Amino acid sequence: MRFVRFLVLIAAASILSGVHAQSALISPPSGTKTLAATLKVYAFPGAGQVASQQSQDETECYNWAVQETSIDPFHVANQAAEQQQQAAQQMQQAQQSTSGSAVKGAVGGAAGGAIIGAIAGNAGKGAAIGAGVGAIGNRARAESQANKASQQAAAQSQAVAKTSAAQMTEFKKAFSACLEAKKYTVKF
């Protein structure tokens, strides 16, 4: 009976040591993204490079790619965000000017209508009609201008997005070429 217990303990110890040995081979994720992962470039160390070497290689390749392409992805992203924010502000300003134009049109129309109504014998009625016509006319013009501004802002935003995407692709090609020269398998 003692011998059986001894064998069970040895078997349990060997199983536990095997689990421990396997877990030592698998390292948990560090929780921080590599430079390549941040750029959505996947680099596998083909020559067994350790994480610190990969980080150093990625930094060198990043700097080389910036020098070769004159494109800095982080600058491109910030620039695109600023341009999209400007386009949104332009659209908002165009919408605000639409409502202000209706009021201005009503005031102008009322003045013109009052003059015409005075000539016709009823300044108050002329002012009311003029205010309505002026408000409608100015609002329609303002909406047309706002639509044009909105379309221009949308076209500008799309152009910025296309340019940014093309620049990022160009940069990733250079970055990947450098990493491949350093014996990494790279996909983006």
pLDDT score recorded for residue 21: 43
Collect all residues with Cβ–Cβ distance below 8 Å to 126 and sequence separation of at least 6: 113, 114, 115, 116, 117, 118, 120
pLDDT score recorded for residue 137: 65
pLDDT score recorded for residue 44: 96
Structure tokens at 130: 């003029």
pLDDT score recorded for residue 169: 96
Burial of 105 (0-12, 13-18, 19+ CB in 10 A): buried
pLDDT score recorded for residue 6: 52
pLDDT score recorded for residue 73: 93
pLDDT score recorded for residue 40: 95
pLDDT score recorded for residue 178: 98
Collect all residues with Cβ–Cβ distance below 8 Å to 34 and sequence separation of at least 6: 43, 54, 55, 58
- Mean pLDDT in consecutive groups of 10 residues from the start of the chain, 188 residues: 53 51 47 89 96 96 97 87 79 67 56 56 62 63 73 79 91 98 96
pLDDT score recorded for residue 26: 47
What global pTM score does this model have? 0.56
* 186: DSSP letter: E
